[in-house]
Every structure is written in structure tokens, then in C-alpha cells.
């Protein structure tokens, strides 16, 4: 078996299609080498080794070592250098690279191959000071990453040394000083581990390889994978690559570039670099880098010259490479490069992470440029990303009390309380607080807190700093490098321009403008025309599933229609009962002793329900409106306080004591499985009769008023048997008949049922005799199939997820092999009885992309979800169809 894949010198064993085996980095390095681009040679140890490594209890297959040896020999040949060679040493970087990029989550070792002998070779090549500084950096990094020593062990040694010499800065250290520090470093290692720092480059290499494979299972990587749905089985590859130095002086540099702007998608060449630096310096955000192109120089406000001016020839070559790569991959590329003594080297290319706004613009632009098709453009946007585009930004003429401006690292706006600590951000967010994480800079340890925060602000770092990259990936607004901030974490304040902001104070962040404002600033709704409208049109052409919304208020219904809903899939009528004006009458109805009393209250509720439905029919025009008759257990409506009781007593003319007695009678031990759903209609048919009448009267009124034909679909909840539906369909049909006779107007309508009990799914063939449509109520169907109370699941389901018992929360993402089976069975049996039966889903799953894909595959006709998720469902339905 082949474990190791070489690249360099214009050829490679692998290519870009082998991401699963070589990781993104390894596969793309191979591809770039094949394209003849300037890539330092190296080799990639495949992800299959990572899998084997863990299967063998952190050990390697015996055939690996000879292959690594052979690859090293080839690398020495290609580079013309020798591993550990005192004359002309080969130094390598050892990096992780998984199938999906996990920036900063795993370990990296640079300058590997330095030892007592080879440092002399490096000194001849690059000077004494540089060589010994590199060597001590290597010892520090290797000891930390591979040998597990603490960073500050070395920091202390260095600080002590500088103090003794009276030095302030590292730049004052000369070769002799570094040599002395190296001696102390090595002593510290030997003291801590009981054995010397490894001098043999091969031993170093194997140590680094194991550290990288080991870092696949570190806490950060595990958290990142969880947040990004990356399976642990994928494993990481390890790429060993000949080092190039961006820190050899003023003719060397290192940087990152994007072929288009990753925050807004504009088609300009975009990036940052540092003269005389190593790659890690840019990403770590320690020095604020300069822009690559002149176009962007002013917006970044850097004092250094853009690469375009500092190194024009290199810039021109880099631009060519960038164009080649973008055309080749047909996507925006994120490049890492190093310039060593005026020579350009490409260290990485990958499809660049981008904000949702950038993803949208890039996809639409590239389709217009003819680089990709419209369908490909549709597939370029993840449905869940749309969320970012649908949420508010700062209102156009809102008053902004700007306290500091930094880099516009990730767009969107958010309001929240200032927090300085990631753990605290996480804890407060868990309690439902909106928080904004304010840090000097962020590191991979902060991802949990960044994810929990509404927005992120940092005092240091550029557009490609950790904070910026991660925030864009997560869709969090972010302002970076807000240099005016003086953060005093210990005191829990930051100061800026003579003002002081304390932990817990409310600020507003505008990630698109790079502004931080005091207080809560007014927000505005997003623009749904332009590129968004275009892409959604393309998505609509591609999808088969229809998309409806769950809505009962006029506001929700309008939002839904604006977002492209093609009907209402679920109007929960009980939500209309909670209105302050109505609730006393609803309570009087529930607490009355007999049908007569109930009918009196219902008569008063009828006009209110009718006007609700009229609103909906007006807004929806000739699109279907599925109205569900009363569903929840009655006790949900019961009066809680004495004042409530008094009010009901007045409305019903019954004494408070008597009411209390009746309320107690309604108590149930298991209300969700109790007197609810169609059971209410069976026991008190007059309730459903009133609701059906309100629906038909409303439909007739609106049809007379507008000349359009409303399409009511009356839905019966929680049916378990055909008999229930038969009885209740008759109630509805009779109400329709009566209303049509009274008004002289007849309208088309449907009666159908929810399928939300396993028995109903199994009996769907029979139920379809009376049901003209099924709507899968997968909230209840999940609850009853898994036997997990949807109201209590929160207490233990997270642990189930953590333990991998359920991979995802089954109330969020449909449990396809359990609940999904029932959906399929019901769809099949329902269609057998009634081939044209309409099938939809209206549980929360209707807006979850993976569940939408399932609905598409199962042949449902539509999904229905909350209004804000309608565009997400439209795009997910298109993805499912493509």
C-alpha cells in the first residue's frame, strides 16, 4: 500500500482530486506542482496512515518507514540539500492537512532538521545570527508541540537572559547570545524529560509526524470538528515540505492572498504580507501586515508599502499564479506564499473561506463570467449560510456613537454585552445573553467563546488573523486590529479615546464598517433583491420541492411571502387564542361544564378567528393556507393567577371556587399524550365546528372582497386512527356546506391530517381514505417515535449527542433511519390509497437543510418552515435536486 505521495519539480504522485487521502493542503500542493507553479518540494503522508495510527493504538504500519525514507531521499535529490547536512542542510516544515480545512487547530513544526551540525550549514547560507535564532525557535516550537513542554519555560529563560544582558528587544540579541540561550533551552528540556533534545533529524521528523497525527485528537480540533460537522474518521494527512524563508531580510517576505475579497466578494486581488517574516507571523496577528495591492492600500490604513510597490516583479508573478489558480479551480482561492530572496514560492492554495455575502457575490459573478454554470453557482452557497444574509445590519441613518474603528473583518452587525473571556462568553450565551467578545487577539482556544458570541472585537491582528478567519467562517460580525483599544482584562474594562467601557456594558459592532459603537444601535432588514434574488431564482428553477411557511400572524405571513413562501403549511390556531382580548373567553369555554356554555363562548370567539383567517387569506392570495384545528392540551390555557380567575369568573358567570375545582379536574399527568389534538375535536366537536366555520366564512368573505379564490386546507392534528379523521372530516365538511349555502358561494378546499403518531404512519393507507393531504408533524412524530419528550429532551439530549448515541439533535435534524422510515412508509401507503395525495412536512425539520434533502428524496411535495428559514429551505431543496 502507498502511504506517501511526493511532489515537486513539476510533477507529483497525487492531485487535487485526492483530498480525502492527501488532505486539502497535500492534494493542492500536488496539483500546483503539476501545474508547474513554484512549489517547494515535499511529500504527504496520507490520511490512511492517520486512521491506521489510531487503530494500532498510536503506532504505524510497518511499511510506512521505508516509504518515508525513500521520499526523504527523493526530496534531498530534488532540493539538492541533505537532511542534517552541515554544509547544505535540508530543513523541512511538518504540517497537518485534513480533508476540510481546520485553520490553526492542529500542530505545525517549522525549521525541522536543525541540529548542532546543520545549524552551521544554515549559518553559512543565511548568516550566524539568523541561523542560531532559527535554531532556538525550532527548539522552542518542537519542545512545545512535540515534547509537550510549556511555552513559558522558554520565555522565562529568554527574559532572564535579556535582563542579565540589559537587553530590551530580541533584535539586540546576537548569534553568541542565541547560542547561550540554546544551551539553556537544551538544559531545560533535558531536566524536564530526563533525556536530551533530539539531535538526529530523523528522530525529530518522526516526533513531529506523531505530534501532528496526535493533534487530530486534541480538544481544539475535536471542538472545531463538532462545530463544523467534520467526522473524526476522516483523519489528517501530514505534509513534509522543504522550508523556504521569508525572514532572510528585506528581499524576503511572506503573505496570504485571496483572488477575490473574502468579506464582500468584490473581484479584486486582495491580501496581506509582511516583509522579513515567517508565515506564522501573519496568521498569528502579532504584527499588522501591509496590503498586497495598491487598490486596497488606503482601506487598510497600513503605513507599509503594498507588495505591488515594494516587490513589483514578485507581485506580477503572484497575480499570474492567482489567476491561473482561480481559473483552474473555478473558485476563489486563498493562497499562502513566501518570497525568499526575491523568489516567489507557493505554499498553499485552497478554496477560500468567505462570508455569506461574499459567497453569494462570487457565485453570481462567476456564473455571469461563464466560469461556472448557474446550477454550480447555486451549489456554491450552503443553505445554512443564508442565515447570515437574512439578518439585520445597522439602519442607514441610525445614530452611531463610534468609539473605535478597526478592520472590517467580517460583516453583519450585532448588539451585546462586553465580555473579555471566552469561557465567560460561552457561559453567558448558554444563559441566553447576547455577548460580544472583546480580546487583544484570539487563538484557537477561543473558538468556543467566539461561537457563543454575537460578534468579536480584537485590538490586534489583520484581515487574515485568527479572529478574522474564524469569525468569517462562523458568520460572526468581527472588527479586528482596533488598535485604539486598551484592554485591561484583569479590571474588566477597556479604554479608548479617554472613554471607559466596562464588562457588561452594551456595545454595537458593525463588522462591515469596522466600527464599534457604544449602546444598542438601530438595525435594519436585509436586502433580498440583487444578487440574492438572482441566486434564489436560479435555485427555484432547480428545485422540485415546494416551500411553505409556518405562520399565524399577519407579520409572519408577510415575511414568509417576502421570503418566497409558496403557501402556509401550518397555521397553529391555538396561538391566536392567547391574545389578551380573547384568553378570558377561551378560558371560559374550556372551563364550562356543558356544551351550551362552550357554544356561548365559541360564538364570541368566532368573529375573532374569522378576522384572523381573513388577514391570512388576503396576504396569501391564491396560495394554499393550511389551518390546523385546535391541538394543545387544554390545561395550557388555564388561568394561572387569582386575577386571571376573577376575569374568567366575570366572563363566564361562574364562581371562582367552582372554576378552581374545574381547573383541577383538567389536570393531566401526561398532557402531551393526554386530552389534546383531535381528541379535543372528538370530545368537543363544537370547537372544531366553530373553527371550520370561521375558516370558510373568512374564505368566502375574502373571495368576495378581492375576487380571488383563497385555498383553505383544513388540518386535523394528532390523528391515530382513520375513524377519528372520518368523524372530524364530517364536522368540517358540514360547516363548509352550511357556510356555502348561507353565502351562496362555493370554494375549493381540502381536508387532511397531520401524521405525527407512529400508528398514523403505519395506518396511513387507511387514513388516506379520508385525508386529501398528509402533513408530517415531525416534532410530535419524533417525540412519540423516540419516546423522548420534546419539552424535557434538553436535559439529557446533549449528553446523547456528545456520546454519539444520536449524532444530531433529532428534534433539529430528522432521525432518518427511525422517524424517517415512518415518513417513508406513510408516504408510500398514503399514495397507494390516493395516488394524488399531497404530502408535506411542517415540523421544525422543514427548515433544516439535511432534513429538506431527505424530504426531497422521499418524494414529498413540500416542506414548511418558519418564515426566516424559507430561503434556506428553497436553496436546500435546490441542492437536493442538483
> Which residues are at the interface with ligand PEP (CB under 6 A)?
570, 572, 631, 756, 777-780, 842-843
Distance CA 353, CA 358 (A): 9
Which one of Mg ion, ligand PEP, none interacts with residue 279, CB within 5 to 8 A by kind? none
∠ Cα 760 789 550 (to 5°): 65
Find the farthest-apart pair of alpha carbons in the chain and give their distance in angstroms, rounded.
104
Bridge partners for 402 per DSSP: 517
CB of 628 to ligand PEP, least distance (A): 7
Is 466 among the residues known to form the active site? Answer: yes
- Residue 374 is assigned to a ligand binding site: no
416 binds, among ligand PEP, Mg ion, none (CB under 5 to 8 A by kind): none
Q: Which is nearer to Mg ion, 306 or 677 (CB)?
A: 677
State yes or no: residue 766 binds Mg ion (CB under 5 A). no
CA distances from 849 to 60, 178, 845, 854, 873 (A): 39, 56, 8, 9, 6
- Among ligand PEP, Mg ion, none, residue 108 binds (CB under 5-8 Å by kind): none
Q: How far is the CB of 32 from ligand PEP (least distance, A)?
A: 50
> Closest separation between CB of residue 468 and ligand PEP, Å?
39
Smaller CB separation from Mg ion, 346 or 716: 716
Distance (Å, whole) CA 786 – CA 797: 12
**Which one of the listed residues 50, 451, 466, 879 is annotated catalytic?**
466
The residues pairing with 456 across neighbouring beta strands, listed in sequence order, are: 437, 478
Binding residue for Mg ion, selected from 8, 777, 820, 846, defined by CB under 5 A: 777
Q: Catalytic: which of 478, 480, 571, 842?
A: 842
The CB-of-678 to Mg ion minimum distance in angstroms stands at: 11
Closest-by-Cβ residue to Mg ion is 780
Phi, psi angles (nearest 5°) of residue 214: -65, -35
Q: In what order do the strands lie in the sheet with 11-12?
A: 11-12, 4-8, 42-45, 236-242, 92-98, 108-112
Nearer to ligand PEP, 574 or 734 (CB): 574
Q: CB atoms < 10 A from the CB of 72, how many?
A: 21
Please state whether beta strands 435-439 and 455-458 pair in parallel, antiparallel, or not at all (unpaired): parallel
Q: Binding site annotation covers 628? A: yes
Q: Which of 177, 780, 815, 861 binds Mg ion (CB under 5 A)?
A: 780
* Residue 757 three-state SS: coil
* Per CB under 5 A, 632 contacts Mg ion: no
Is 343 known as a binding-site position? no
- The beta strands (E) that lie in 739-830 are given as 750-755, 773-776
CA–CA separation, 757 and 761 (whole Å): 7
Establish whether 495 is an annotated binding residue.
no
Beta 711-716 vs 624-628: how paired, if at all? parallel
DSSP string, 521-579: --EEPPP-SHHHHHHHHHHHHH--SEEEEE--SHHHHHHHHHTT--SEEEEEGGGGG-S
**157-165, 651-659, 664-672, 774-782 -> range binding Mg ion (CB under 5 A):** 774-782
Q: Are 462 and 288 in contact (CB under 8 A)?
A: yes
Give the residue with the Cβ less far from ligand PEP, 140 or 573: 573
The partner in contact with residue 778, picked from ligand PEP, Mg ion, none with C-beta cut-offs of 5 to 8 angstroms by kind, is ligand PEP
Look at residue 843 and give the partner it binds from Mg ion, ligand PEP, none, a contact being a CB closer than 5 to 8 Å depending on partner kind. ligand PEP
Of 620, 621, 589, 593, the C-alpha closest to 605 is 589
* CB of 768 vs Mg ion, minimal distance in Å: 19
Binding-site size for Mg ion (CB under 5 A) equals: 3
Are 634 and 644 in contact, with CB atoms under 8 Å apart? Answer: no
> Which of Mg ion, ligand PEP, none lies near 572, with the C-beta cut-off 5 to 8 A by kind?
ligand PEP
Part of the chain binding Mg ion (CB under 5 A), chosen from 192-200, 584-592, 622-630, 780-788: 780-788
Shortest approach of Mg ion to residue 844 CB, angstroms?
10
Shortest CA distance to 178 belongs to which of 127, 143, 144? 127
Q: How far is the CB of 864 from ligand PEP (least distance, A)?
A: 8
Our CB check for ligand PEP shows the closer of 365 and 756 to be 756
The residue (of 406 and 843) whose beta carbon lies closer to ligand PEP is: 843
**For residues 549 and 702, which CB has a smaller minimum distance to Mg ion in the complex?**
549
Residue 393 beta carbon to Mg ion: minimum distance, rounded to whole angstroms: 35
User: Among Mg ion, ligand PEP, none, what binds residue 789 when CB lies within 5 to 8 Å by partner kind?
Assistant: none
Residue 639 or 777: the one with the smaller Cβ distance to Mg ion is 777
| 82: three-class secondary structure by DSSP | strand
Residue 791 CB, nearest approach to Mg ion (Å) = 12
Pick from ligand PEP, Mg ion, none: which does 763 bind, CB < 5 to 8 A by kind? none
The verdict on whether residue 777 carries a ligand-binding annotation is yes
Is residue 92 within 8 Å of residue 76, measured between CB atoms?
no
**Of the ranges 145-153, 755-763, 786-794, 859-867, which one interacts with Mg ion (CB under 5 A)?**
755-763
| 622 close to 707: Cβ distance less than 8 angstroms | no
Q: Answer yes or no whether residue 846 interacts with Mg ion by CB under 5 A.
A: no
User: Nearest to residue 762, comparing CAs of 810, 720, 717?
Assistant: 720
- Residue 128, annotated as binding a ligand: no
Q: What is the grid cell recorded at 323?
A: 489567476
Q: Which of 618, 675 has the CB closer to Mg ion?
A: 675
Inter-axis angle of helices 583-591 and 595-620, nearest 10: 140
| Cβ atoms within 10 Å of 500's Cβ, excluding its own | 12
144 binds, among ligand PEP, Mg ion, none (CB under 5 to 8 A by kind): none
483 in a known ligand binding site: no
CA distance 530 to 364: 10
Asked whether the CA dihedral 51, 53, 56, 60 is positive or negative, the reply is positive
Say if CB 84 and CB 118 are below 8 A apart.
yes
Residue ranges for the binding site for substrate?
A: 572, 628, 756, 777-780
Binding stretches for Mg ion (CB under 5 A): 756, 777, 780
Q: Catalytic residue numbers?
A: 466, 842
Residue ranges for the binding site?
A: 572, 628, 756, 777-780
Residue ranges for the binding site for Mg(2+)?
A: 756, 780
Amino acid at each position: 500500500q502507498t502511504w506517501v505521495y511526493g511532489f515537486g519539480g513539476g510533477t507529483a504522485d497525487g492531485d487535487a482530486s485526492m483530498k480525502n487521502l492527501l488532505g486539502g493542503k497535500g492534494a493542492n500542493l500536488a496539483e500546483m506542482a503539476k501545474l508547474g507553479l513554484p512549489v517547494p518540494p515535499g511529500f504527504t503522508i496520507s490520511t490512511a496512515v492517520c486512521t491506521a495510527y489510531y487503530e494500532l493504538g498510536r503506532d504505524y504500519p510497518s511499511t510506512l518507514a521505508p516509504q518515508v525514507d525513500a521520499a526523504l531521499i527523493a526530496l534531498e535529490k530534488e532540493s539538492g540539500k541533505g537532511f542534517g547536512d552541515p554544509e547544505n542542510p535540508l530543513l523541512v516544515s511538518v504540517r497537518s492537512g485534513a480533508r476540510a480545512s481546520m485553520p490553526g487547530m492542529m500542530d505545525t513544526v517549522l525549521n525541522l532538521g536543525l541540529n548542532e551540525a546543520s545549524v552551521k550549514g544554515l549559518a553559512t547560507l543565511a548568516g550566524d545570527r539568523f541561523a542560531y535564532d532559527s535554531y532556538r525557535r525550532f527548539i522552542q516550537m518542537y519542545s512545545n508541540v512535540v515534547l509537550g513542554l510549556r511555552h513559558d519555560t522558554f520565555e522565562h529563560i529568554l527574559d532572564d537572559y535579556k535582563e542579565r544582558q540589559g537587553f530590551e528587544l530580541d533584535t539586540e540579541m546576537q548569534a553568541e547570545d542565541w547560542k547561550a540561550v540554546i544551551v539553556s533551552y537544551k538544559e531545560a528540556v533535558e531536566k524536564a524529560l530526563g533525556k536530551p533534545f533530539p539531535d538526529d533529524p530523523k528522530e525529530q521528523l518522526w516526533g513531529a509526524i506523531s505530534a501532528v497525527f496526535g493533534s487530530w485528537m486534541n480538544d481544539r480540533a475535536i471542538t472545531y470538528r463538532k462545530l463544523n460537522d467534520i467526522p473524526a474518521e476522516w483523519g489528517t494527512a501530514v505534509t513534509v515540505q522543504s522550508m523556504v524563508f521569508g525572514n532572510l531580510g528585506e528581499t524576503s517576505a511572506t503573505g496570504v492572498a485571496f483572488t477575490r475579497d473574502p468579506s464582500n466578494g468584490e473581484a479584486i486581488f486582495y491580501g496581506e504580507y509582511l516583509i522579513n517574516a515567517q508565515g506564522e507571523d501573519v496568521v498569528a496577528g502579532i504584527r499588522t501586515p501591509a496590503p498586497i495591492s495598491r487598490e486596497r492600500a488606503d482601506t487598510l490604513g497600513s503605513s507599509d508599502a503594498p507588495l505591488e510597490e515594494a516587490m513589483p516583479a514578485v507581485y506580477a508573478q503572484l497575480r499570474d499564479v492567482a489567476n491561473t489558480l482561480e481559473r483552474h479551480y473555478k473558485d476563489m482561492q486563498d493562497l499562502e506564499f513566501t518570497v525568499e530572496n526575491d523568489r516567489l514560492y507557493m505554499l498553499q492554495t485552497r478554496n477560500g473561506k468567505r462570508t455569506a455575502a461574499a459567497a453569494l457575490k462570487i457565485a453570481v459573478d462567476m456564473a455571469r463570467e461563464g466560469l461556472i454554470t448557474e446550477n454550480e453557482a447555486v451549489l456554491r452557497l450552503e443553505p445554512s449560510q443564508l442565515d447570515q444574509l437574512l439578518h439585520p445590519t445597522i439602519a442607514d441613518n441610525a445614530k452611531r456613537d463610534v468609539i473605535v474603528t478597526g478592520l472590517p473583518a467580517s460583516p453583519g452587525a450585532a448588539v451585546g454585552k462586553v465580555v473579555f473571556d471566552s469561557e465567560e462568553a460561552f457561559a453567558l450565551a448558554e444563559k441566553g445573553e447576547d455577548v460580544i467578545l472583546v480580546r487583544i487577539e484570539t487563538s484557537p482556544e477561543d473558538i468556543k467563546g467566539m461561537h457563543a458570541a454575537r460578534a468579536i472585537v480584537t485590538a490586534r491582528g489583520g484581515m487574515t488573523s485568527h479572529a478574522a478567519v474564524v469569525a468569517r467562517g462562523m458568520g460572526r460580525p468581527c472588527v479586528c486590529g482596533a488598535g485604539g483599544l486598551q484592554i485591561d482584562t484583569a479590571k474588566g474594562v477597556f479604554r479608548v479615546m479617554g472613554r471607559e467601557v466596562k464588562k457588561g456594558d452594551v456595545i454595537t459592532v458593525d463588522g462591515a464598517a469596522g466600527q464599534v459603537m457604544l449602546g444598542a444601535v438601530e438595525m435594519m432588514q436585509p436586502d433580498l433583491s440583487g444578487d440574492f434574488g438572482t441566486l434564489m431564482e436560479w435555485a427555484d428553477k432547480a428545485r422540485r420541492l415546494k416551500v411553505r411557511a409556518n405562520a399565524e400572524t399577519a407579520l409572519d405571513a408577510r415575511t414568509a411571502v417576502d421570503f418566497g413562501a409558496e403557501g402556509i403549511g401550518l397555521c397553529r390556531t391555538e396561538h391566536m387564542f392567547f391574545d389578551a382580548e380573547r384568553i378570558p373567553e377561551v378560558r371560559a369555554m374550556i372551563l364550562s361544564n356543558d356544551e351550551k356554555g362552550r357554544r356561548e363562548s365559541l360564538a364570541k370567539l368566532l368573529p375573532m378567528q374569522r378576522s384572523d383567517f381573513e388577514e391570512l387569506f388576503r396576504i396569501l392570495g391564491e396560495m394554499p393556507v393550511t389551518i390546523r384545528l385546535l391541538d394543545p392540551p387544554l390545561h395550557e390555557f388555564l388561568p394561572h393567577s387569582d386575577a386571571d380567575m376573577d376575569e374568567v369568573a366575570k366572563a363566564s358567570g361562574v364562581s371562582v371556587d367552582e372554576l378552581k375545582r374545574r381547573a383541577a379536574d383538567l389536570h393531566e399527568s401526561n398532557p402531551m399524550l393526554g386530552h389534546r389534538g383531535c381528541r379535543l375535536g372528538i370530545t368537543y366537536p363544537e370547537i372544531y365546528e366553530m373553527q371550520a366555520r370561521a375558516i370558510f366564512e373568512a374564505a368566502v368573505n375574502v373571495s368576495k372582497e378581492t375576487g380571488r379564490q383563497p385555498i383553505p386546507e383544513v388540518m386535523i392534528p394528532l390523528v391515530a386512527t382513520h375513524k377519528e379523521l372520518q368523524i372530524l372530516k364530517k364536522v368540517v365538511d358540514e360547516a363548509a356546506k352550511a357556510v356555502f349555502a348561507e353565502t351562496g358561494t362555493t370554494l375549493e378546499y381540502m381536508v387532511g391530517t397531520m401524521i405525527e403518531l407512529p400508528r398514523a404512519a403505519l395506518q396511513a393507507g387507511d387514513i388516506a381514505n379520508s385525508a386529501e393531504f398528509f402533513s408530517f408533524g415531525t416534532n410530535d412524530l419524533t417525540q412519540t417515535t423516540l419516546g423522548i419528550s420534546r419539552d424535557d429532551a434538553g436535559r439529557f439530549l446533549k449528553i446523547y449527542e456528545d456520546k454519539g448515541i444520536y449524532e444530531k439533535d433529532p428534534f433539529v435534524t430528522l432521525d432518518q433511519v427511525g422517524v424517517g422510515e415512518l415518513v417513508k412508509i406513510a408516504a408510500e401507503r398514503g399514495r397507494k390509497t390516493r395516488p394524488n395525495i399531497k404530502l408535506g412536512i411542517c415540523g421544525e425539520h422543514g427548515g433544516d437543510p439535511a432534513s429538506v434533502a431527505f424530504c426531497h428524496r422521499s418524494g414529498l411535495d413540500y416542506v414548511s418552515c418558519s418564515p426566516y428559514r424559507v430561503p434556506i429551505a428553497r436553496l436546500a431543496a435546490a441542492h437536493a435536486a442538483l
